[in-house]
Structure 1
Amino acid sequence: MKVTPFGLTTAEIRDELAPLRSDFSIAICRAKNPFNIGAIIRTAHSFLAREIILIGSEPYYERAAMGMQKYENIVEHPDEDSFLSAIEGRHLIGVERDHAKQTLWEASFPSGLVFLLGSENDGIPPALLAACHDVIAIPMYGINHSYPVAIAAGMVMCEWARRNDPRGGG
């Protein structure tokens, strides 16, 4: 039997974390590898993302999330239209090298933004790319074409924290 940290229930821990949440969300569209989605959930917990949005019906590997899914606000949308309707009015930033307008280092991060990552094979679908307010690339120096999606998610969350976290990220 696992002992709940700090002698609190899961609900009490979630309540304690709520006011500490960061002012961004991370969305993953149809990631094909369930381990990657679990790893993104675990990393998003480390940055206390406002929410983790899963677009599509692909599962995630709970062991990769290392139990952090129980403390997170995970929102699932069956398709792109449902997702876009739910985030209407929020700034959507796609993370995609091939369609980027600027780099991670140049992009502005307005409050309440949603970072959007696509699948490992297909990237961000065209309809979602068209809905993005900005599309950014993470600079690369090798010959490979892309970062693993879980690594890319961690990089954008880390850059958000470096710039915006009042707890001392910068």
Structure 2
Amino acid sequence: MPHGPPEVGVGPWEGEWPVGEEYDAELLREGDRRNVVDRYRYWRLEAIVADLDTRRHGFHVAIENWQHDFNIGTIVRTANAFLAAEVHIVGNRRWNRRGAMVTDRYQHVRHHPTPEDLASYLHERGVRLLGIDNLPGAAHLETMALPREVCFLFGQEGPGLSEVAREVCDGTFSIAQFGSTRSINASSAAAIAMHGWIREHADLSGGDAWRG
């Protein structure tokens, strides 16, 4: 009996090939082993991104990157799963992509050298910038009505939002905690905030919400 995990994806297309510009001849011939939902099997990368762009949600997510935070890759992967408009990296341009699991190819990732640059970019497009950190005086994220056009900004793991980032935010909010730890992981906090937006604004009535 063979051992190990089952092979990911699908093998070569069987039978007559489908017709359409979205299909990739190499994938049809060799098989598609990528981590994509069935809707996008055998599609070209560019075709997948173009289709996603027709359905992207109104929220953005941003993270400060002064110390090459390892959470960024995981945040990008989650942003892709929830179909964020864009992910913004503030500070150092280089970031660890390992946690993204190649999802950064399908997600728009934009770099900003400073928090001020991020705020200017968002405000020109009518997007509110909300800092998420367990700061004194921060309102509860759980009790606020989330704007449809919003960007959630997260600081580095450990120090949290920088002083400059706090100053340019339109408001700061915290995620309610009840245990002994001072904070939760940055990528976990980002997932909570993004899912909060999904619960409030996403359309779950059609077939666009994947179930595996």
TM-score by length of 1: 0.90
Q: How does 1:35-54 map to 2 (within 5 A)?
A: 35-54=70-89
1:121 shift after superposition: 2.4
CA-based RMSD of the aligned residues comes to 2.0
Report the more deviating stretch, 17-26 or 83-92: 83-92
Q: How does 1:151-166 map to 2 (within 5 A)?
A: 151-166=188-203
Aligned to 1:114: 151
Report the more deviating stretch, 37-46 or 160-169: 160-169
Secondary structure at the counterpart of residue 89 of structure 2? strand
Please list every run of 5 or more consecutive structure 2 residues that lacks an aligned counterpart in the other structure. Answer: 1-29, 35-39
Compared with structure 1, are the counterparts of its residues 93 and 40 closer, same or farther at alpha carbon in structure 2 (3 Å cutoff)? Answer: same
Q: How does 1:90-169 map to 2 (within 5 A)?
A: 90-167=127-204
Percent of aligned pairs with the same residue?
27
Amino acid at match of 1:50: A
CA contact (8 A) 1:31 1:118 kept: no
In 1, Cα distance between equivalents of 2:61 and 2:52: 17
Structure whose alpha-carbon radius of gyration is higher: 2
Partner residue of 1:69 out of 104, 111, 133: 104
2:61 maps to 1:20 = no
Q: How many residues align?
A: 169
In 2, Cα distance between equivalents of 1:151 and 1:131: 23
Structure having greater relative contact order (Cα 8 Å, sep ≥ 6): 1
Compared with structure 1, are the counterparts of its residues 10 and 156 closer, same or farther at alpha carbon in structure 2 (3 Å cutoff)? Answer: same
Report the more deviating stretch, 40-49 or 116-125: 116-125
Compared with structure 1, are the counterparts of its residues 112 and 72 closer, same or farther at alpha carbon in structure 2 (3 Å cutoff)? Answer: same
TM-score by length of 2: 0.73
Please list every run of 5 or more consecutive structure 1 residues that lacks an aligned counterpart in the other structure. Answer: none
